[in-house]
Amino acid sequence: MTVAHDRKQRLARFIREVWDEGDADAADAHVADAYVIRHDPGDPWDGMTLDLAGFKDRVRRSRAAFPDQRFDIQGLFADGDEVVMTWLWAATHGGDLPGFPATGKTVRMSGATVYSFDEEERLTGHWQITDRLGVYQQLQRNLAPDV
Amino acid sequence: MTVAHDRKQRLARFIREVWDEGDADAADAHVADAYVIRHDPGDPWDGMTLDLAGFKDRVRRSRAAFPDQRFDIQGLFADGDEVVMTWLWAATHGGDLPGFPATGKTVRMSGATVYSFDEEERLTGHWQITDRLGVYQQLQRNLAPDV
């Protein structure tokens, strides 16, 4: 197996364990001591460098409103120290967000994330774009009374 | 030079000639006879397959409101038949958009695009995410009267 292939498998496992299943402590095996959010418009942690405790806190807080969230990986592209992941995402809006109380309705999103690896194959950060306008439009629509 | 390196250079040239400089006819050298927009939330051509004339029409119409637009490529990642480009973008809002008359003010955006190549090194389509919420927020802010 090549390094590229191994990294893709490792990244897919990180997404499943930490972000899909919500096992924040599984980050111990995947995330470096310093994790840099280089670019992530709309993310409350955009621009920050997180230690492992901070990373786990971000996982728990991000997932609170969407406890059954699932990433559907569309593509994985390995080059140099990075793997790019394109993805679809779906979740039940099960917890409150500022201005958007929980509705129990499904929300969908898509995005692309560049993950960086260090020499020990741990994640050192990401550069991400998500279609957050699409999410807001769905949250607003879900909040509107049924006609 | 490797195939990956050549593709990255070719893609950067396509972006500069066609999208930055607005030479839609330069697409002849870069784009296949059928170009598929596989995923591009908010793009009026999302989901469509374009022939070369249709592709050039999309270039001209997309650029009309932003005639001096420039892409600032952040990263290029080659794997298999694809090259992923992460990018920043800036333009003067110089032409009218629906609901947003031209203001002459700068608009910025970021995004990630997966470009697919055929065996003749021509582009056969893309999968793209842009931070369109960020754009709308700037268009609204630019439209507001100066305080």
pLDDT at res. B144? 87
A79 φ/ψ angles, rounded to the nearest 5 degrees:
-160, 125
Residue A147 has pLDDT above 60, yes or no: no
Q: CB B41 to CB A110 under 8 A?
A: yes
Q: Flag whether residue A85 sits within 8 Å of chain B, measured between CB atoms.
A: no
**Per-residue pLDDT tens digits for B40-89:** 999 999 999 999 999 999 999 999 999 999 999 999 999 999 999 999 99
> Is the minimum CB–CB distance between A38 and chain B shorter than 8 Å?
no
Q: What is the pLDDT of residue A133?
A: 97
pLDDT at B147 over 60: no
Q: Of how many residues is chain A composed?
A: 147
Q: What is the complex's ipTM, to 2 decimals?
A: 0.95
Sign of the C-alpha dihedral, residues A87, A90, A94, A97? Answer: positive
Task: Considering only the beta carbons, identify the residue of B79, B82, B133 that sits closest to A133.
Answer: B133
For residue B4, name the pLDDT band (cuts at 50, 70, 90): very high
- Of A126-135, B1-10, B70-79, B104-113, the poorest mean pLDDT is in B1-10
Inter-chain contact B133–A132, Cβ cutoff 8 Å?
Answer: yes
Q: A84–B77: do the CB atoms touch at under 8 Å?
A: yes
Residue B96, pLDDT > 90, answer yes
The answer to whether the CB of A77 falls within 8 A of the CB of B84 is yes
List the single best residue of A131, A137, A139 to mutate versus B (max B Cβ within 10 A).
Answer: A131
Closest approach of chain B CAs to the CA of A130, in angstroms? 7
Residues A85-141 have pLDDT tens digits of 999 999 999 999 999 999 999 999 999 999 999 999 999 999 999 999 999 999 999
Q: Which of A70, A65, A71 is nearest to A94 (CA)?
A: A65
At A146, the pLDDT band (50, 70, 90 cuts) reads low
CA distance A106 to B62: 32
DSSP string, B69-96: -EEEEEEEEEETTEEEEEEEEEEE--S-
Please list every residue in chain B whose beta carbon sits closer than 8 Å to the beta carbon of residue A79: 4, 76-79, 84
Q: Which of B46, B34, B44, B62 is nearest to B125 (CA)?
A: B34
Pairing of strands B31-39, B123-130: parallel
**Contact criterion met (CB below 8 Å) for B50 and B59:** no
Classify strands B82-92 and B49-50 as parallel, antiparallel or unpaired: unpaired
- The answer to whether the Cβ–Cβ distance between B114 and A77 falls below 8 Å is yes
Q: Tell me: the pLDDT tens digits for A54-66? A: 999 999 999 999 9
- CA–centroid distance for B103 within its chain: 21
* Whether residue A142 has pLDDT greater than 90: yes
C-alpha span between B22 and B12 (Å, rounded): 14
